[in-house]
Structure 1
Amino acid sequence: MKENTVITVSRQYGCGGRELAEILAKKLNVKLYDRQIVHIAAAKLGINDLSEQDLLELENTVHPLTLTFMPFHSFGTRMGESSRGMFLSEASVVRKLANDGACVILGRCADYVLEDMPNHFSIFVCAD
């Protein structure tokens, strides 16, 4: 695998995409990024008063089948400033991690953020 190859994995809820990304990263001997991106983005936004548990709880309270989980639904028209700021911060972190070297990035709209990046491969996992 080339030094700067980035694989993004998007998935349907409950299809085993996280497990697939973990196996892929392990087999390719590269880093896997997922929830870490939320923590880094929160730090960039200056949200320092949230503990690790608070961030995990916040992330787990977003219901995946609601429109609030879809960051590009009505993007720029109805998205609140805090949601928009968090997305922009996460996108910045995704680009930085992708430029730092080969990795697998799970979710976080990384496929969209990195769509124009050379050596980027996007996988979508779905299941019944």
Structure 2
Amino acid sequence: MKEYPVITISRQYGSGGREVGKLLAKRLGIPYYDNELITLAAQESGFSPELFANADQNASNSLLFSLSLYGTTAGTYNMPIGDQVFLIQSDIIRKVAEQGPCVIVGRCADYVLHENPNCLSVFLRAPLEWRIEHAVSNYGLERVGAKDIINRTDKKRSVYYLHFTGEKWGVSDTYHIMVDTSRVGIPSTVDMLCGLAESWEKK
């Protein structure tokens, strides 16, 4: 397998993160992880998959636990369930990244792997009106209420990210590259990220 980077994709709701991630992984011939992480985390932990399904949209009310200090050892099971889910999921992310190049969508993967020198972190964004149209056309959302769903989902992701990382979600300093998919387009975004991955291989 070629030495592509591990590519993490964070995204505003409706900006096409999953489409980009799936197409990118297919083009590069590397594994794609999104809901697949839920299955892996549930299998390893014994917890219900439902606990992981919306983990990146629900922050617990507990103290912030540093990933550099804690792992999924026995001691973590004294933590609130939200923190256990986050740490278990983070361990899974590290494990799949250690196995080789892959594309990981969401779940604070950019933060979990921020010390990994072979990680390329991407953030996808687009104007709200474009995301509404995209979500209605591609995600099956009803137009009435779509704006509220998009804003609410992004708010939850932002709160979750701040809670577990201590950093602001969607700020350019946090990522290697940010792309406006409304301007670049989904296919061209995939082309551009493929080019970056190919260049990465040559380093």
Q: For residue 59 of structure 1, report the CA deviation from its aligned partner.
A: 2.2
- 2:105 partner amino acid: L
- 1:32 partner amino acid: Y
**Which stretch of structure 1 is more off in the superposition, 38-47 or 21-30?**
38-47
Q: Bigger radius of gyration, 1 or 2?
A: 2
Cα distance, 1:32–1:8 mapped onto 2, change above 3 Å:
same
Cα distance, 1:94–1:46 mapped onto 2, change above 3 Å:
same
**Which stretch of structure 1 is more off in the superposition, 33-42 or 115-124?**
33-42
Cα distance, 1:15–1:56 mapped onto 2, change above 3 Å:
farther
TM-score, normalising length: structure 2: 0.49
**Whole-Å separation in 2 of the counterparts to 1:95 and 1:63:** 16
Please list every run of 5 or more consecutive structure 1 residues that lacks an aligned counterpart in the other structure.
Answer: none
Aligned length: 113
The runs of 4+ residues in structure 1 deviating greater than 3 Å are 55-58
Name the structure where strand makes up a greater proportion of residues. 1
Aligned to 1:85: 84
Aligned to 1:121: 120
Please list every run of 5 or more consecutive structure 2 residues that lacks an aligned counterpart in the other structure.
Answer: 66-78, 128-203
User: What is the RMSD computed on CA atoms of the aligned residues?
Assistant: 2.6
Aligned to 1:20: 20
- For the 8 Å contact 2:42–2:52, the answer to whether it is kept is no
TM-score, normalising length: structure 1: 0.75
Q: For residue 58 of structure 1, report the CA deviation from its aligned partner.
A: 7.0
Q: Percent identity?
A: 42
Greater RCO structure (CA 8 Å; 6+ sep): 1
